């Protein structure tokens, strides 16, 4: 792990730390998968599941009996934790639901209404770990938004805890398929998997690329790229090296492509954190994955630390300083912010109620985390009475003719003419 000073880092080194763009090969690897699933449907899903997961899948949909058995097999403590997390997540997202709005004045009524999407697909990663938390984070907001049909895809073999969480969250159907092929199935549909209006959820670089391709081909709406996990920590001398190292190591646990960066004002803290991270990674169960992740430490003044964080636009940002609120006010780009030494990033991953599906790779410059708005569309409306038409007529006809759109102008004048008394209409007729 490198410990660098901001004032000695070259422009190229800084760019290499900030750039988390996957290689061009990912697009080339994913495109054939997308095309084959669109062409072959369930046959392709079974083939890729055999190839990538080493599992033979006959029934792609998980049966209701299997889900019930999974709940029965779960430890009571796990079920209590799932229920508690679900309640907090549901409560936080219910506060995001928007009310329809309208206003009426002088014969002109305008409004905006929020309509839930008809269907949504949630991707829940698998592989080396179970992610019941992601099941809750992806399905519950869709349900809160009022989406009529919510399905989920997750790689086989599906852990009992994940199935139990999907049941608690309210998924209508669960499919044992993962990777880019799962995203494609939910985006375009197969014989078993019905197409969805939106596809959401985190995943590796292949899942993220598949989401981009599905979106770009008008297969489905996506929330944003949500790829390999990342964290930036801003800390001054008040930071605790053990806590900071624990948060950095925790994010590297997800994926070899994960990244963790400390930006600190204190050189001694930087060295202590570096030692703690190396010790913890060496002793960890997932040491091989964690040691492959990117870890960097940068030292400079607080302005440099904040400027770096805004440029990096991290998925997770931890702030451990004398005045966390002052730093927060200067943060423009971050998926989710964790304030103070007693706020581990893992708390947001599981149980505070905020969503842990967050933009990565710099996506926080444009997006916030997954929320209820990702599952609704806003429709505006307007209604004019006779007074309203009269009030807008001059503005509309003037602008329409300025744009050379005579028929637009006449469509308004037609209404005015119909409102005239009959004798005035006869006088105005040619």
In a domain, 110, yes or no: no
Contact indicator for 188, 219 with CB cutoff of 8 Å = yes
Q: What is the pTM of this model?
A: 0.91
In a domain, 56, yes or no: yes
Same domain, 65 and 129: yes
In a domain, 358, yes or no: no
Please report how many Cα atoms fall inside a 13 Å half-sphere around the Cα of residue 364, on the Cβ side. 28
Q: Tell me if residue 391 falls in helix, strand or coil.
A: helix
Q: Which of 338, 353, 368 is the last residue of a domain?
A: 353
408 labelled binding-site residue: yes
In a domain, 376, yes or no: no
Q: Which of 353, 373, 399 is the last residue of a domain?
A: 353
251 labelled binding-site residue: yes
Q: Which of 182, 201, 226 is the last residue of a domain?
A: 226
Same domain, 122 and 155: yes
In a domain, 265, yes or no: yes
Whole-angstrom distance, CA of residue 300 vs CA of residue 9: 11
Same domain, 390 and 340: no
Same domain, 156 and 283: no
DSSP state of 228: S
Please give the chain's pLDDT, 430 residues, in tens: 889 999 999 999 999 999 987 766 899 999 999 999 999 999 999 999 999 999 999 999 999 999 999 999 999 999 999 999 999 999 999 999 999 999 999 999 999 999 999 999 999 998 667 899 999 999 999 999 999 999 999 999 999 999 999 999 999 999 999 999 999 999 999 999 999 999 999 998 899 999 999 999 888 999 988 878 899 999 999 999 999 999 999 988 877 888 999 999 999 999 999 999 999 888 777 777 777 788 999 999 999 999 999 999 999 999 999 999 999 999 999 999 999 999 999 999 999 999 999 999 999 999 999 999 999 999 999 999 999 999 999 999 999 999 999 999 999 999 998 876 655 555 555 5
Active-site residue, from 230, 253, 296, 316: 316
In a domain, 169, yes or no: yes
Catalytic residue check, 316: yes
Q: Tell me if residue 315 falls in helix, strand or coil.
A: coil
In a domain, 201, yes or no: yes
Active-site residue, from 315, 406, 414, 420: 315
In a domain, 369, yes or no: no
Same domain, 14 and 37: no
Other C-beta atoms lying within 10 Å of the C-beta of residue 155 = 22
**Would you state the pLDDT for residue 422?**
54
Same domain, 187 and 67: yes
Same domain, 51 and 187: yes
367 labelled binding-site residue: no
Same domain, 80 and 196: yes
Catalytic residue check, 367: no
- The token pair that represents 204 in the structure block: 């590796």
Same domain, 31 and 146: yes
CB contact set of 5 (below 8 Å; sequence gap of 6+):
298, 299, 300
Q: By residue range, what is the domain housing residue 147?
A: 25-97+117-226
**Would you state the pLDDT for residue 429?**
55
**Would you state the pLDDT for residue 424?**
53
333 labelled binding-site residue: no
274-298 as b/e: b if 16+ CB within 10 A:
bebbeebbeebebeebbeebbbbbb
Which CATH number is 402's domain given? 1.20.5
254 labelled binding-site residue: yes
User: Into how many domains does the chain fold?
Assistant: 3
Which CATH number is 235's domain given? 3.40.50.1980
Find tokens 């005015």 and name the residue: 416
DSSP state of 156: S
**Would you state the pLDDT for residue 242?**
97
Same domain, 282 and 343: yes
Same domain, 195 and 308: no
Same domain, 143 and 258: no
């Amino acid at each position: 792990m490198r410990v660098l000073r901001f004032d000695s880092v070259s422009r190229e080194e800084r760019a290499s730390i900030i750039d988390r763009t996957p290689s061009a090969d990912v697009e080339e690897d994913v495109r054939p998968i997308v095309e084959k699933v669109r062409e072959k449907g369930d046959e392709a899903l079974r083939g890729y599941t055999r190839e990538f997961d080493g599992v033979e899948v006959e029934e792609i949909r998980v049966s209701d009996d299997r889900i019930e058995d999974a709940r029965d097999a779960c430890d009571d403590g796990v079920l209590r934790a799932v229920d508690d997390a679900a309640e907090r997540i549901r409560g936080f997202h219910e506060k995001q639901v928007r009310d329809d709005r309208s206003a009426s004045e002088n014969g002109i009524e305008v409004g905006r209404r929020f309509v839930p999407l008809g269907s949504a697909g949630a991707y829940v990663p698998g592989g080396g770990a179970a992610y019941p938390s992601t099941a809750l984070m992806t399905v519950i907001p869709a349900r809160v938004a009022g989406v009529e049909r919510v399905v989920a895809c997750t790689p086989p073999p599906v852990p009992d805890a994940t199935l139990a969480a999907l049941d608690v969250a309210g998924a209508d159907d669960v499919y044992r398929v993962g990777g880019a092929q799962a995203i494609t199935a939910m985006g375009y549909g197969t014989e078993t998997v019905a197409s969805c209006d939106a596809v959401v959820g985190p995943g590796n670089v292949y899942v993220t690329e598949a989401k981009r391709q599905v979106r770009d081909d008008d297969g489905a709406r996506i929330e944003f790229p949500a790829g390999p996990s990342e964290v930036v920590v801003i800390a001054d001398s008040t930071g605790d090296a053990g806590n900071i190292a624990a948060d950095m190591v925790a994010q590297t646990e997800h994926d070899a492509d994960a990244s963790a960066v400390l930006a600190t004002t204190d050189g001694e803290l930087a060295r202590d954190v570096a030692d703690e991270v190396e010790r913890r990674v060496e002793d960890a169960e997932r040491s091989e994955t964690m040691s492959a992740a990117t870890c960097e430490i940068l030292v400079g003044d607080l302005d440099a630390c904040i400027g770096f964080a805004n440029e990096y636009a991290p998925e997770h940002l931890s702030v451990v300083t004398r005045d966390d609120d002052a730093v927060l006010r200067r943060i423009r780009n971050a998926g989710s912010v964790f304030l103070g030494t007693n706020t581990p990033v893992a708390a947001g991953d599981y149980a505070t109620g905020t969503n842990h599906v967050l933009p990565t790779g710099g996506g926080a410059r444009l997006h916030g985390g997954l929320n209820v708005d990702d599952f609704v569309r806003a429709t505006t409306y307007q209604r004019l009475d006779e007074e309203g038409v009269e009030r807008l007529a001059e503005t509309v006809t003037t602008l329409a003719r300025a744009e050379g759109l005579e028929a637009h102008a006449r469509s308004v004048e037609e209404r005015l003419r119909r409102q005239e008394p009959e004798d005035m209409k006869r006088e105005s007729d040619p």
